[in-house]
A and B are shown apart, each in its own frame.
Chain A
Amino acid sequence: MESMPVSEPETKTEAKTALQPPWKVIVMNDPVNLMSYVVLVFRKVFGFDEPKARKHMLEVHEQGRSVLWAGPREIAENYVHQLHQWQLNAYLEKDEEN
């Protein structure tokens, strides 16, 4: 009796880099903190130049929120912590789009 040829199970190894989805650092508007104060905080925490800090501040003021940074969770958490030290309403959000 002829045996059926046994085919070797095909093993396929695929290298996948487990990339974490980036996290966004978001600052919300509040009616208390001064605009010039918020600009200073953005410059100090993120190292933004004046125009970039001002652009984000205006976004917060006019749209209620601004995404200040996106990237690995650990770094994003550190930014949020610093923003809390400066009394800004900041939080982390998973960046589902990327």
Chain B
Amino acid sequence: MKKIEVKLHRSLVAPLLDYLRELSVRAGTGGFPPQIKDTQSLDPEMAEIWEDELRNLGGDDRKQFFSLFGGQFIESGSIHLDEEQASAVLRSMAWFRLQIREKDLSEVPDEILEQGDLTLKGMSETEQKGYSAFVFLAALQEIVLEHLEPR
């Protein structure tokens, strides 16, 4: 099984992890992806069951993500993940990025966010943290995607 190792700068990543932990609490326990504003196309009973499933899966995915930053990361700054974990970690990073967009970067126009044409200057502290985490997660997602074969 293929394993991915990524070496990170601990002192830069640690505050982003604190921000992401705090964001997890702030985002609450909604199940559907945040960009979905209505679920009318779904059967209402089914939508409730799905939301529960999504909530549970999302919680498990985030646990997998935070488990990457355990003892080995604290010691050496490196994180390791195998192909089995990769799906959960990728999903959780997508969730975090969507939540950052929704909660802390909602004022940024879509095109600017998509092109990454943002500067930290003039942003509030929360926005700065949010954008730094947003960029960090995108870079990490790209590394994982590059080394992962879909199954």
User: Which A residues fall within an 8 A CB radius of B?
Assistant: 28, 30-34, 36-37, 40, 43-44, 77, 80-81, 84-89, 91-93
Would you mind naming 30 contact pairs between A and B with Cβ atoms under 8 Å apart?
A28-B35, A31-B101, A31-B114, A32-B35, A32-B97, A32-B113, A34-B138, A34-B141, A34-B142, A34-B145, A36-B141, A36-B145, A37-B90, A37-B94, A37-B141, A37-B145, A40-B145, A43-B150, A44-B87, A44-B150, A77-B43, A84-B36, A84-B50, A85-B91, A87-B33, A89-B33, A89-B36, A91-B42, A92-B41, A93-B41
B98 at the interface (CB under 8 A from A): yes
User: Which B residues fall within an 8 A CB radius of A?
Assistant: 32-33, 35-36, 41-43, 46, 50, 53-54, 57, 87, 90-91, 94-95, 97-98, 101, 110-111, 113-114, 138, 141-142, 145-146, 148, 150-151
4 closest Cβ pairs, A-B complex: A87-B94, A31-B110, A43-B150, A92-B41
Is chain A's binding surface mostly helix, strand, loop or mixed?
Answer: mixed
Extra contacts besides A31-B110, A31-B113 (11): CB < 8 Å: A28-B35, A32-B113, A40-B90, A77-B42, A77-B43, A85-B54, A85-B57, A86-B94, A87-B91, A91-B36, A92-B42
